[in-house]
Chains A and B, each alone.
Chain A
Amino acid sequence: MLAGFAQAESVTVYSARNEQLIKPLFDAFTKETGIDVKLLTDKEGPLMERLKAEGKNSPADILMTVDAGNLWQAAEQGLFQSTKSGVLDANVPVHLRDPKGQWFGLSQRVRTIFYNPKTVKPSDLSSYEDLANPKWKGKLCLRTSKKVYNQSLVAMMIAQHGEAKTEQVVKGWVANLATDVFADDTKMLEAIAAGQCAVGIANSYYFGRIVDKKPDFNVKIFWANQNAEGVHVNVSGAGVTKYAKNPKAAVRLIEWLSSDKAQNLYATKDFEYPVNPKVKPDGLVADWGSFKPNPINVSKAGELQAKATQLMDRVGYK
């Protein structure tokens, strides 16, 4: 109880989001509020195990990670506390945060279809489900099913269509593969550009990073499922930990990250989309035009992730 006197206010963040993407923001926050931010990075799995093992004696105030599946999982394991904040309710749309207020999305990433304009016309494309159509045989590239982004995408499809239909679709994808699945999105996009395949599914910011360096990169973006429920979005986000020692400062930091001035930097620095609807994306991301996002709550992805993983195992999606 003596703590907090005679020392500057500080907040401790456990983050699976990379240091280079968040540290500039934390520095700006400290400059503005005088609240010091301590940062510890690791993969999300080990961070959660760490929080569990530390229990009441954890120094962490905030857990920050990418992917709704991971956020849902942390909430499921009782690592977060609920936060009531008018500011966050206003800044973060309902479908991009936990219904119980345990975590909040802070940036949006779109997982959509990319194609090689030399071999594919945008009019050939429509939806994720359509990529299972035999017309794409030997033309599809995918990233490994071990990556959480694909697990979330398939989980959302299960939420939408049920397991049986989703299994049909994923089976169709596997049948259409042009080559072994890739370990990362960047390599997969390069394969599309080189003509190893014609279409693939990737996160928008991987594309952004390439195009930023190579403006004439031979791949185009296509917003999937616009005539249906909308394109699949995922988030990176944060929540206040259950045993936070500085919950007030922690809430303040999350609110600040969702605010107008932080959102643009937080999201577009890595070619992501702001969650705050008042903030317009700028630069490269703005050039890709607007899209209709799937309004289903992203926490669904977490709930169904294990199911999705098993489904992908069953159909031999490596």
Chain B
Amino acid sequence: MSESTLSEAALIAAPPLLRAERHGRRAWRGVLYALPIALLTLIPLAVVLASFLDPQPEIWAHLGQYVLPSVLKNTAILLVGVTMGVLLLGVPLAWLTAVCEFPGRRFFDWALMLPLAMPAYVLAFVQIGLLDFTGPVQTWLRDTWGDSSWFPNIRGTGGVLLVLSLAFYPYVYLLARNAFATQGRRALEAAQMLGVSRRAAFFRVAIPMARPWIIAGVTLALMETLADFGAVSIFNFDTFTTAIYKAWFALFNLPAASQLASLLVLFVLVLAVVEQRVRGARHYHVKSSHAERIRLAGAARWGAMLWCALVLAVAFIIPLIQLLLWVKGVWVDDFDDRYPAFIGRSVALAAMAAVLLAALALALAYARRRYQGRATQWLVRLAILGYAVPGTVLAVGVFIPVAWLDNLLLAALQPLGFEGFQVLKGTVAVMLLALAARFMAVAFQPVDTAMQRITRNQEEAARSLGLSSGQVLRRLHLPLLRGGLFTAMLMVFVDVMKEMPITLMTRAFGWDTLAVRVFEMTSEGMWDRAALPSLFIVLAGLLPVFLLIRHSDRH
């Protein structure tokens, strides 16, 4: 196969990997690191899945006949469609901004991350508002031409795929951009040495090299898609998640709901194993390249700029303008002196979660790296499952054991004169642990992919200099992982800002955040009034994006 020889030629032969400590006394140490972190996710999941033991034949007969067929079909369409969508958007954009040179590149380089801060449900609502029969576009068409019936229906499958792809492509963009920025130009150099065209270099060298990162990004997008409830409900598009809600809140059958949830979890596990299979080994070279960026010429220059501008406009600028227009109408009535506190709490919670998750992800990635026992690998897979579970399901799974512990503690404390009904409930610590269970995948993927950059012989060299494990981590790993950790923190920060069900369920009295305000308004369909807190979420999400840019500019 010429392709494989190409990418191999492009790689300076990787050093022979030393056999990881698979066996013997060290294997359990990996479990020791990974198990406590995995338990954060496993306990809530176990609580939810426990009701699997309570069969519901009647409901299942109903679900099997009338609900599941369409739900399975729709979920499959979503997974395939979103995969295509985020790949088509994320990978070319990352290539353009990381490797090429065209007008506006420096701006688009960071601006294309911004849609990360736009909650998917906001994007869904705005696009429907603009493009549906009653929206300004079709209304104008009718006023001008007298007919808009030919216009594609935004509330159909195509619309859902469009919106979810626009909402989730930044995961692929961010990770692929990381990969291209560090290796893309090396790939080009290698390709030039071999005398192949740029196009061949992109498809046959750069993409295979970046594959692990691209797949990590797609995995995040797919997990987010599976867990999404907000955007698909606005489209009234039936998925696994909406079926879980239906079983729970309309058929009043929690066991059936959690059985559906278990199927979903099982499915995600399969996805995780598939991911490992297709990901392949990550070769990595830390050597920097001196190759020039590709200077795009002629039509390609403007084409690149227009394409970036179009994606940015549809995914971010237009929704932002719509939010601003709504805010203009409600600002006077809704903005009050509580807002600084909402913003402060949102930012504080997101920042704390970002730091905590970066640390946990580092521990997980390190455990996986050093102790490659089968048990450790599986624990890591389980630890990141929370991201694909619908938020409300996970929130309830977290709350039940916490309340149970509280009841035990209160039973012990109240005879001692303790007055009150909660010890753990409604503490920020519990909130953070619940958020950690939810967003582990978001932090883990970038850190783990960065961990792969460190070659074994760098580690060996460091050890042979007599450094202890701790010193190796501090002096070798941390500096090299900085980019990955930063990306992880950015994504977690933005995700926590947008997160709703867990924040609602685990917060203390009066501990309202921006997302809680969004919930208050959207649950009654008051979208224009939800715009104000949504806008602040977006603005606060810009903060880490700017930090990330400043950081990456320095390196």
> Using Cβ atoms and an 8 Å threshold, which residues of chain B touch A190?
134
Whether, in the assembled complex, A130 has its beta carbon less than 8 Å from a beta carbon of chain B, the answer is: no
CA distance A76 to B510 in the complex (A): 29
Q: Are A53 and B403 in contact (CB under 8 A)?
A: yes
Contact A18 B132 (CB under 8 A): no
Residue of A nearest to B419 (CB): A3
Interface stretch among B6-14, B92-100, B250-258, B462-470? B250-258
Residues of chain A contacted by B521 (CB below 8 angstroms): 18, 20
Q: A40-B509, A59-B421, A305-B252 are in contact. Are A194 and B134 (CB under 8 A)?
A: yes
Q: A50-B399, A59-B421, A146-B242 are in contact. Are A41 and B66 (CB under 8 A)?
A: no
Contact, CB under 8 Å: A180 / B404: no
Kindly provide the distance from the CB of B419 to the nearest chain A CB, expressed in whole angstroms: 5
Asked if A73 lies at the interface with its beta carbon under 8 angstroms from chain B, I say yes
- Asked whether, in the complex, the Cβ of A58 is within 8 Å of the Cβ of B525, the reply is no
Whether the pair B134, A191 counts as a contact (CB closer than 8 A) is: yes
CA distance A313 to B396 in the complex (A): 26
Contacts of A73 in B (CB 8 A): 252
Q: Is the CB of B395 within 8 A of A46?
A: yes
User: Is residue A249 contacting chain B, with contact meaning CB distance below 8 A?
Assistant: no
**On chain A, which size bracket covers the interface?**
35 or more
- In the complex the two chains form, is B505's CB within 8 Å of A46's CB? yes
* A136 CB within 8 Å of chain B: no
Query: Is chain B's binding surface mostly helix, strand, loop or mixed?
Result: helix
Query: Are A148 and B250 in touch, CB under 8 angstroms?
Result: yes
Task: Give Cα A309–Cα B252 distance, bound, in whole angstroms.
Answer: 10
Which A33-90 residues have C-beta < 8 A from chain B? 38-46, 49-50, 53-59, 73, 76
In residues 35-93 of chain B, which contact A (Cβ within 8 Å)? 62, 66-67
Residues A1-34 near B (CB distance < 8 A): 2-3, 12, 16, 18-21
Nearest B residue to A205 by beta-carbon distance? B524
Residue of B nearest to A193 (CB): B134
Main secondary structure of the interface of A (DSSP, over half): helix
Q: How many residues of B contact A (CB 8 A)?
A: 55
Is A161 part of the binding interface, using a Cβ–Cβ cutoff of 8 Å? Answer: no
Q: Which of B230-238, B274-282, B295-303 contacts A (4 or more CB under 8 A)?
A: B230-238
Q: Give bound CA distance, A271 to B248, whole Å.
A: 30
Cross-interface CB contact of B392 among A3, A41, A46, cutoff 8 Å: A46
Does any Cβ of A come within 8 Å of B139's Cβ?
yes
A262 sits at the interface (CB 8 A): no
Q: Does A187 contact B134, Cβ atoms closer than 8 Å? A: yes
Residues B520 and A19 in contact, CB atoms below 8 Å apart: yes
**At the interface, yes or no: A318 with Cβ under 8 Å from chain B?**
yes
In the complex, the chain A residue whose C-beta lies closest to that of B238 is A318
Q: Does B400 contact A (CB under 8 A)?
A: yes
Supposing A18-B523, A49-B399, A57-B407 touch, asked if A318 and B236 sit within 8 A by C-beta, the answer is: yes
Given contacts A49-B399, A180-B236, contact A309 B251 (CB under 8 A): yes
Interface flags, A184-215, vs B, CB<8A=1, else 0:
11110011011010000000001001000000
Complex: how many Å from CA A39 to CA B510? 7
Contact partners of A55 in chain B: CB under 8 A: 403, 407
Task: Kindly state whether residue B152 has any CB partner on chain A within 8 Å.
Answer: no
Minimum distance in angstroms from A8 CB to a CB of chain B: 15
Complex: A158 Cα to B145 Cα, angstroms: 45
A146: contacting residue among B62, B236, B524, B529, CB under 8 A: B236
Chain A residues with Cβ below 8 Å from B403 are 50, 53-55, 57
Contact of A53 among B404, B419, B510 (CB under 8 A): B404
Query: Are B523 and A43 in contact (CB-based, < 8 A)?
Result: yes
Hey, which chain A residues are within 8 Å of B529, CB to CB?
20
User: In the assembled complex, which residues on chain A have CB atoms less than 8 Å from the CB atom of B250?
Assistant: 146, 148, 151, 305-306, 309
Least CB separation from B503: chain A residue: A42
Most chain B CB atoms below 10 A, which of A38, A76, A182: A182
Please tell me if A280 contacts chain B, counting CB pairs below 8 Å.
Answer: no
CB atoms of A54 and B425 under 8 A apart: yes
CB-CB under 8 A from B505, the residues of chain A are 42, 46, 50
**Is A297 close to B, CB under 8 A?**
no
Is A144 positioned at the interface, with any CB of B under 8 Å from its CB?
Answer: yes
What chain B residues lie within 8 Å of A175 (beta carbons)? Answer: none
A246-300 at interface with B (beta carbon < 8 Å): none
Task: Decide: A206 and B252 in contact? CB cutoff 8 A.
Answer: no
Query: A2 CA to B238 CA in the complex, in Å?
Result: 52
Known: A187-B134, A305-B250. A206 touches B525 (CB 8 A): yes
Residues of chain B within 8 A of A120, CB atoms compared: none
**Taking each of A12, A57, A151, A318, which has the highest tally of chain B beta carbons within 10 Å of its own beta carbon?**
A57
A42 in complex: contacting residue of B249, B253, B425, B504, CB < 8 Å: B504
Closest 9 CB pairs of A and B: A53-B403, A313-B66, A309-B250, A184-B525, A190-B134, A194-B134, A42-B504, A196-B133, A59-B421
Task: Provide 29 A-B residue pairs closer than 8 Å at the C-beta atoms, listed in order of the A residue.
Answer: A2-B417, A12-B509, A18-B521, A18-B523, A19-B520, A21-B524, A38-B509, A41-B516, A41-B519, A43-B504, A44-B249, A46-B396, A50-B403, A54-B421, A55-B403, A55-B407, A56-B407, A76-B252, A146-B242, A146-B246, A179-B133, A179-B153, A179-B155, A180-B156, A181-B236, A182-B236, A190-B134, A305-B250, A306-B251
Known: A57-B421, A185-B525. 5 other contacts (CB 8 A): A57-B407, A73-B252, A187-B132, A206-B525, A313-B62
Chain A residues with CB under 8 Å of chain B are 2-3, 12, 16, 18-21, 38-46, 49-50, 53-59, 73, 76, 144, 146, 148, 151, 179-187, 190-191, 193-194, 196, 206, 209, 245, 305-306, 309-310, 313-314, 318
